[in-house]
Amino acid sequence: MGRFTRNELEEAFRIYRTAADRSSETGDWAIWASIFTEDATYVEHAYGEFHGRQEIEQWIVEVMKPFPHMRFPVTWHAIDEATDTVVFEVRNTLDHPTQAGVEFWFPNWTRIVYAGDGLLSYEEDIYNPARDGNRVVREWLKAGGKPATPRFLPMKYA
């Protein structure tokens, strides 16, 4: 059995989603990074592995610069009380620049580990950025989407 109850894990997941939503609304991705422990690990298969809240924050703030308002709606989630883990799918979503309700998205599976006090000690994202991410961003750009910065890391979308 893990250290936390199902209710605590559900609350941790709510905190995670709220932080992601606030970051997307404001464009301030430091909000999202603040829910990690000082010694957290983040595994992102396209970008690498990050250690500690500060390194996670530096990475997420930089990588989200072109798309500060990208959204991450959750389609499903599962709680594993034995490992204090939540596994879920999000849709990495860019809204159409002119047509309300039209979205460009690709799926991403994520695993987070809760550490207590509203903080996460681990996150791992599983998706195919070379195929899915590039396709979605190309479609969004073709529809008139404009990145907030000209720099895309590390993938090329054009």
**CATH number (domain holding residue 74):** 3.10.450.50
Owning domain of residue 126: 6-142
Angle at 45 between CA 96 and CA 92, to 5 degrees: 20
* Residue whose C-alpha is closest to residue 86's, from 94, 78, 97: 78
Query: Is 1 part of any domain?
Result: no
pLDDT in tens, 124-143: 999 988 889 889 999 999 99
The pLDDT of residue 154 is 47
Query: Is 30 part of any domain?
Result: yes
pLDDT in tens, 17-58: 999 999 999 999 999 999 999 999 999 988 899 999 999 999
The pLDDT of residue 153 is 47
What average pLDDT does this structure show over 91-120?
Answer: 97
The pLDDT of residue 151 is 63
Query: Is 96 part of any domain?
Result: yes
Alpha helices in 27-125 (DSSP H): 30-33, 53-63
The pLDDT of residue 91 is 97
The pLDDT of residue 152 is 58
Sequence-ordered strand ranges (E) for the chain: 36-44, 48-51, 74-80, 85-95, 103-116, 119-126
Query: Is 156 part of any domain?
Result: no
Alpha helices in the chain (DSSP H): 6-26, 30-33, 53-63, 134-142
Say whether pLDDT at 71 is over 80: yes
Full-model pTM: 0.92
The domain total for the chain is 1
Query: Is 155 part of any domain?
Result: no
